[in-house]
Structure 1
């Protein structure tokens, strides 16, 4: 009997049930909280849990371990007549029957924000089982597991219950580095309600440290009754010939042996505990609570009292539900499809998940050691600031401290504000795109709030041994000097955020290659392009930096107008760079060299006042020059209807994209996206790009837009992406992040119908359960087989919500005013006449209703009557957009209630 994976929403909150989830080996679900618990759980209860790279509660897993690894959460029942059964179906016997017997499915998964419930039936015992996992919304680094067992038979059922949660209790590095030696460092305490494992030290041969962290598994029944027996070590629990999925102590119902043969210290540990034998009458239920976590508290046995009954767990459950639904409700869309709205609800929490997990700590995300990357931070905040702009202000200020004097930055953002790590895995390198993102995100913040004063906040610069954009080392810098840039007089230097923004964009704009584009360095947005640091150039980010330079010029104009300022202050050495804006392009690298030599051993700390009018003109001129370079020199015309922009030059200085002598065509989506978004592409070029993308980039198997055509053979002159099989990840997968940005680019230039088709394709590919085989959300990419890969922590989550709110619904700030410019297409209305979105603006709750009673398509309507809380707005619109000024909204929007703005879409007047 073939069972097909499928999920469906069962309410408006995004709760879904999934049939046949156990048929998908690589399926997982996130379980986490803001306190730092980062876990995953599968339909067989596999997955791991950790606080960071060095504190893993369970055995670290990558995606292939989800079906290979026996070390999983488990709960067992034993009857004298029938033997042992896992309530998750995760025993050797049950897994074998699951694979080879033709039978009705026994399991079902239900997931909500943010919990995972497995429902499993043991027909041999007439026992219904549910196993729910969630994290409390508090400061406890804990996962709570609720096990409910119900006798659905007609006779009394007697069984012995046993919980079994293997404890790893150390760094992920020790999975293979000194695994046995570090187990010898484990010390075990058996307490009334559970087992605590505390290593004596943090093992690190670069410098061992005392350990204060404990790992625990505690349990009780629904009335707080403690276990009657415990098995603290794996060896004792499984026996001499057993395994974790067929443990001797459960299968034989044997008692623990606490003698010298079965020592508990210095062993691989497990939180295995047996509860008293149960007699369940027909229809009767019993519940068990298993808490597993990581703590530095001395007495978590007392802390467990918060969760040791059914009623207490129910309270924690409700608070968890309130927290995550509150996060999802901050931006809430209601359209004509409950499925699309439910999908967006899960997409909307993905930026929160990435804030917690970073780009690591989920089974597919097995690269890195924790923390978010620099560009991830700024792009995730696109959605986080839309949810609550003023709450992120301090984070923006602190995170600008990551910029170096050479315009590069610390690449890993650690927990807390303003905490950085220089680079990932101690590899010094520079991604050239990093400089564009802070300005892009801060512009959104300034427009949403009108808070231009953030540009005057003064912060430090990051300092380490890496100088001249990772090309040299400062031999005078020592770790004990700290990471704040100092002057030559050993004083910590601070500069404005505006100074930081100008610096990082200006340096990149001067870092020009032989073809007139900005150098690729160690990669741009596409990390796979990491082998062209000498002669590589990137066209898409040449366009992006060109736009940024113009945007900074606009900010300077605003400062002149709103604040009546005539000069801005920068550190005096920056004058060298500013002089470079007046030089010919072939001298630009000489300017950088001169600047690097001047700041190699610090800066003077003296300030220089620069006339804003002069600076604005220089930056704008440079920005336009970069845009023109892309528009005129990197355009490739295929025909009167098709064309595209070249994307890169490789390390041999050769153009990467175009029509080659072997007749093969090569180009990618990234190049087109940023050329359109930046304004480098003309309208005529955009139309030809759309034709080319639609003609050449769709995957013939899935229909998704590929990131690139085949890159060719790996000639070691461009990047590791060549080594990937075509159709996967950056080498030809449907890369959701870039595809979403492409849709945004089209919408932002007025091509809403074309942008909607792209957005719809991402949704349809992500929710094609037969092929994608993932839970709701947008994955990092769709493979050539249609599989959704790398779920949950991808930048596509933030960009999708950013796109939906600011472009599709067209609701965004404009220097603190509210701009409404909907780009809704007819298909989005279908049988409905109104679409709505809930959001926060001016720290007030606002619901905006778009009525399209005649089902007019985009381009056929304009804004008609507008009302705020039932009061008709008196001004005539007769346009496709309207700006509601802050002063007007302050009078009409009320704090403490949902404010309602209704807009009629009426036939456009020609």
Structure 2
């Protein structure tokens, strides 16, 4: 199995790679070091990125190399670097970029360690010319440090909340408060950039973006001499992780290596200790190997082999997709930038298909947990929480029903039963979701204290998994329009076929619901019990 890819880039094709760990840190990174870094919707370390931003990489990761009094950038966004040769290497899960010209090469490896919420970079600068090079290095990573909501909402006001401090080999910013849709809350997160090099001496810091730009821009900064000492504190400005190193003359074939981290933590001590720990060759290489081995071992859990070796190798990345989906959801990559994180209803069920094929031991509990999102009217919750089985009332009061939602859970359950033979899953009990919406969201009621359906005694009601499946498919099958086909409601899985709420019908899911009822009938025949328990109102 080979997952490594190496290509030569001549233009910016909009490529990017996801980086993440199981602690929840997520990144998108391009060969030009664009993309962003975040924990969730409300904790972005770097400025949030969309598809179009892939071609505007300046407000992201960068290092400035002053070579013989000319400025060159790690991201290559200078006039002097438009003819650079670019070799782009990706693997599970790291990025390596080798940028070369007639004077020097910059060899950069980037990844997210599995044990801490930092992104780390090893940047090796080598003089490949026949002459000496005078070199001065300054990191230049603008620290966004707030909610994505603030990109266009209170951007300036939230910068006034920033508490910036220069610390040993680092710049940190800790806003006093967060302003977003959750209200005004005390902030506990620390955003940071740290850097170190054995070959270079640290000169100082430029922690304030205004001072760094100094009437220029991020493309043409005019404040690179505005260096302050460790222990400097500044409040109320946009921050930048600009760490300046002293001049060094490089002989031909001589190299320097810079280590840089970008991170987010919930306390100062963890920020310092965990960041500094990776700013050396031994820890960096060890973390890289652990990250690569973790993901390689994961994709070995399911392998496809076909005659075409190149496609076989590509399919290893497909195995990783369900895990990526769980952590990035629909919101945290440049081409998946809608919503506030999390997954949709369909995602819950289709993501389990790969886990079933991999014989993942968590599938059984995840299946049962997912059914807690079904309403007693056959519809389902649309806001999916971060924890298994966590569903929330729609915070925006958007009363939408996707006509296909009830059809998908059975496909996943059927696959599980076919793989395991475990029919007992159908007899397990689970709660129902309850919020203000009823009657396929056509009616509302007062909000409930808990999002669980209750019975006449005001006790949370539990029904079997089979009951949930019968409810979803019977309601979906009988919800028909004037032509006898299932009503489209607000959309089916092809969301281009929407805006037909009153008269639209979906032929595809008319057939799918009908076939689902045939599948359910065959499963019921295989059950050891001669009786099927359902709540009274479901009886036909």
Which TM-score bucket, shorter chain as reference?
over 0.9
CA distance in 2, matches of 1:282, 1:565: 82
8 Å contact 2:145–2:191 — kept in the other structure? yes
Deviation, 1:394, is 1.3
CA separation of 1:320/1:375 partners in 2, compared to 1, >3 Å: closer, same or farther? same
8 Å contact 2:393–2:451 — kept in the other structure? no
8 Å contact 1:192–1:226 — kept in the other structure? no
1:120 aligns with 2:102: no
8 Å contact 1:188–1:196 — kept in the other structure? yes
8 Å contact 2:206–2:242 — kept in the other structure? yes
8 Å contact 1:21–1:27 — kept in the other structure? no
Unpaired runs of at least 5, structure 2: none
Deviation, 1:413, is 2.2
Partner of 1:494: 462
2:217 to 243, 246, 250: 243
Partner of 1:393: 364
Could you list the per-position Cα deviations for residues 225-245 of structure 1 after superposition, in whole angstroms to 9, with x for gaps in the alignment?
A: 8843111111111212x2112
Deviation, 1:119, is 0.8
2:257 to 271, 284, 287: 287
CA distance in 2, matches of 1:65, 1:384: 33
Deviation, 1:402, is 0.5
CA distance in 2, matches of 1:17, 1:426: 47
Could you list the per-position Cα deviations for residues 778-834 of structure 1 after superposition, in whole angstroms to 9, with x for gaps in the alignment?
A: xxxxxxxxxxxxxxxxxxxxxxxxxxxxxxxxxxxxxxxxxxxxxxxxxxxxxxxxx
Could you list the per-position Cα deviations for residues 197-216 of structure 1 after superposition, in whole angstroms to 9, with x for gaps in the alignment?
A: 11112213663222112211
Unpaired runs of at least 5, structure 1: 1-11, 580-910
8 Å contact 2:433–2:453 — kept in the other structure? yes
SS in 1 for 2:183: coil
CA distance in 1, matches of 2:479, 2:2: 49
1:570 aligns with 2:523: no
Partner of 2:86: 107
SS in 1 for 2:240: strand
Deviation, 1:304, is 2.0
1:83 aligns with 2:70: yes
1:543 to 480, 499, 511: 511
> If the length of structure 2 is used for normalisation, what is the TM-score?
0.94
Alignment of 1:155-234 (within 5 A): 155-204=131-180, 207-221=183-197, 227-234=202-209
Partner of 1:453: 424
CA distance in 2, matches of 1:195, 1:528: 46
Higher mean displacement: 161-170 or 386-395: 386-395
Partner of 2:521: 553
Partner of 2:46: 58
Could you list the per-position Cα deviations for residues 294-321 of structure 1 after superposition, in whole angstroms to 9, with x for gaps in the alignment?
A: 2213411012243121100101100110
SS in 2 for 1:356: helix
8 Å contact 1:404–1:410 — kept in the other structure? yes
SS in 2 for 1:570: coil
Deviation, 1:424, is 7.8
Could you list the per-position Cα deviations for residues 621-669 of structure 1 after superposition, in whole angstroms to 9, with x for gaps in the alignment?
A: xxxxxxxxxxxxxxxxxxxxxxxxxxxxxxxxxxxxxxxxxxxxxxxxx
Deviation, 1:473, is 0.8
Alignment of 1:287-366 (within 5 A): 287-299=257-269, 300-366=271-337
2:4 to 15, 21, 30: 15
Greater RCO, CA 8 A, separation 6+: 2
1:38 aligns with 2:17: no
Deviation, 1:22, is 3.5
SS in 1 for 2:51: coil
CA distance in 1, matches of 2:505, 2:198: 63
Partner of 2:500: 532
Deviation, 1:87, is 3.0
SS in 2 for 1:249: coil
SS in 1 for 2:509: helix
Partner of 1:473: 444
CA separation of 1:15/1:450 partners in 2, compared to 1, >3 Å: closer, same or farther? same
SS in 2 for 1:435: helix
8 Å contact 2:377–2:440 — kept in the other structure? yes
Alignment coverage as a number of residue pairs: 538
Could you list the per-position Cα deviations for residues 141-166 of structure 1 after superposition, in whole angstroms to 9, with x for gaps in the alignment?
A: 22111111122234443411111111
8 Å contact 2:204–2:228 — kept in the other structure? no
Deviation, 1:28, is 2.0
SS in 2 for 1:60: coil
8 Å contact 2:149–2:181 — kept in the other structure? no
Larger Rg over CA atoms: 1
8 Å contact 1:399–1:417 — kept in the other structure? yes
CA distance in 1, matches of 2:395, 2:263: 27
1:74 aligns with 2:62: yes
Deviation, 1:347, is 2.3
SS in 2 for 1:322: helix
Partner of 1:94: 80
Deviation, 1:556, is 0.8
8 Å contact 2:171–2:194 — kept in the other structure? yes
CA distance in 1, matches of 2:169, 2:422: 53
Partner of 1:278: 248
Deviation, 1:269, is 1.0
Could you list the per-position Cα deviations for residues 142-196 of structure 1 after superposition, in whole angstroms to 9, with x for gaps in the alignment?
A: 2111111122234443411111111111111111111101111111122112111
SS in 2 for 1:228: strand
Higher helix share: 1
CA separation of 1:34/1:219 partners in 2, compared to 1, >3 Å: closer, same or farther? same
SS in 2 for 1:388: coil
Could you list the per-position Cα deviations for residues 274-311 of structure 1 after superposition, in whole angstroms to 9, with x for gaps in the alignment?
A: 12433434333322221112221341101224312110
8 Å contact 1:88–1:118 — kept in the other structure? no
8 Å contact 2:166–2:233 — kept in the other structure? no
Could you list the per-position Cα deviations for residues 119-140 of structure 1 after superposition, in whole angstroms to 9, with x for gaps in the alignment?
A: 11142xx2211122211123x2
Deviation, 1:323, is 1.3
8 Å contact 1:513–1:535 — kept in the other structure? yes
> If the length of structure 1 is used for normalisation, what is the TM-score?
0.57
CA separation of 1:263/1:191 partners in 2, compared to 1, >3 Å: closer, same or farther? closer
Alignment of 1:833-848 (within 5 A): none
